[in-house]
Amino acid sequence: MVLTTSPVVVTGSNGFIGRALCAQLAAEGVATRALSRADYGDLATADDGLLDDALRGAGAVVHLSGRAHVMRETSANPPDAYRVANAVATERLAHAASRAGAARFVFASTVKVNGDASPRGRAFRENDPAAPADDYARSKYDAERALGQVAATGALQPVILRLPLVYGPGVKGNFRVLWDAVARGRLLPLGAIDNRRSLLGLANLVDALIAAVDAPAGTYLVADAHSVSTPGLVQAIADVQGKPANLAFVPLPILRFAGSFAGRRAAVDRLTSSLEVDASAFTAATGWQPRATLAQGLAAIISQ
């Protein structure tokens, strides 16, 4: 088994997910080599020799670093910024892992490679056609394909995990915005939304990443055991905070019109659409099961 023979290299080790993964690997006695931007700079331009030194002797690489959704965009060319940070960097790291003789390359991708919304009543599966709809998702899909091309020329085995929204201690982005809005008692016009969305608690993701190190090569979807509606998520957050869920029942056409008027139609679409994934293939391949419930994962944010 890879985990018992050689160090596991983790990129993005100072990030939200990387810190939790490195802590769990250390707790399980797994030799870990944590790499942050301070160690290698920009993966897309780092010297090959530096990358070779960083990966020398590694049994596996867990690649978490990259450019995620940017809430306040500052790049003059966002598509290229995503491409370089996600696709180019992943390809260069994969080449270095192959040169180092690593057995596995675990890549944290996104369910958005499958699309922005799943068909009502049907979860996305691994064999569904890719349909990335924004710069971020396209860059992740490009990274997946580049990783596959590198692996095809050697013994490196890629394991790609397409992840839904991840929550837990240290979470940022839109989830933190929603969390803070509930904490402040803001009235949220989300009560009429009838959708289903897959989420992934940080503890469950850490378990999945560790399982992926010894998984058969392939692309997998991973999520918590149960999906939740947007108002259901607000209620769950309110429950764990000990706050009321101030949900207003605004008809969806009005909500979408208001989103368009405010220039936030994409954000409204994400809140109102369904995005479910079927994680059964990963469970069958590895035996992984999500051990933490939504309530437990939310409670961990309180205790951070």
pLDDT for res 4: 57
pLDDT for res 267: 76
What b/e string do you get for 210-231 counting C-beta neighbours within 10 Å, with b at 16 or more?
bbbbbbeeebbbbbbeebbebb
Specify the residue for token string 């000990």: 242
pLDDT for res 46: 87
The whole-angstrom separation of Cα 225 and Cα 233 is 14
Whether 40 sits among the annotated catalytic residues: the reply is no
DSSP assignment letter at 123: -
Separation in Å, CA 233 to CA 70, 177, 196: 23, 13, 10
Determine how β-strand 60-63 pairs with β-strand 104-110. parallel
Enumerate residues 6+ apart whose C-beta is below 8 A from 246: 182, 185, 186, 187, 188
Domain architecture of the chain: domains with CATH:
2-165+198-225+275-291 (3.40.50.720)
pLDDT for res 68: 82
Tens of pLDDT along 108-164? 999 999 999 998 889 999 999 999 999 999 999 999 999 999 999 889 999 999 999
Partners of residue 110 on adjacent β-strands: 163
DSSP assignment letter at 7: P
User: Among the options 40, 82, 136, 167, which is catalytic?
Assistant: 136
Q: Which residues of the chain have pLDDT under 50?
A: none
Enumerate residues 6+ apart whose C-beta is below 8 A from 251: 192
The whole-angstrom separation of Cα 165 and Cα 157 is 25
The whole-angstrom separation of Cα 80 and Cα 68 is 13
Tens of pLDDT along 184-195? 999 999 999 999
Sign, CA dihedral 239-180-120-193, equals positive
Enumerate residues 6+ apart whose C-beta is below 8 A from 114: 124, 128, 130, 131, 162, 221, 277
